[in-house]
Homo-oligomer: A and B are copies of this chain.
Amino acid sequence: MEFPKDRLTIHEAAEATGLSAHTLRYYERIGLIHPIDREENTRRRYTEEDIGWIDFLTKLRATGMSIRDMQRYAELQRQGDETLPQRLEMLKALRDQVEQHIDELHEHLKLVQYKIEIYGQIVAQKELEKS
């Protein structure tokens, strides 16, 4: 068995974040995640803070931010507090994009909903005719 662990193995981190171990290594390789500490051997051990950062990344991903932009954001983050204004700008741009995307989805949703109603009526009508 192991020691009481406040730090997660790569598979536990994968479990916790919803990413695969492959993807976690990939993200680290391309600089989205800082080099994770290795404990007592060559293997990665993830802290709660690491998991928090990865969760934030997956949320950025889910908003549609590209890997390239996430790399840029992570790089700024590593450079410390003097990059706060740039990060703020990135987040504002992201917010605007996401809001626009949501509006567009609502627009398209209306059309889909309209088609559902039309098709639904026709299908219901045919059901009636059959009986």
**Which residues of A pack against B, CB within 8 Å?**
56, 59-60, 62-63, 81, 84-85, 87-88, 91-92, 94-95, 98-99, 101-102, 104-106, 108-109, 111-113, 115-116, 119-120, 122-123, 126
Contact = CB atoms under 8 A, between A and B. Distances in A.
A5 to B, nearest CB: 28
B105 A101 contact: yes
A122 B91 CA distance: 14
A98 B109 contact: yes
Contacts of A109: 63, 95, 98-99, 102
Given A63-B108, A108-B62, A123-B84, A116 B92 contact: yes
Contacts of A113: 95
Contact of A105 (B60, B63, B88): B63
6 contacts: A84-B122, A88-B119, A94-B112, A95-B112, A98-B109, A105-B105
Contacts of A60: 108
Contacts of A119: 84, 87-88, 91
A120 B88 contact: yes
Most chain B CB within a 10 A radius of its CB, from A60, A81, A123 = A123
Contacts of A112: 63, 91, 94-95, 98
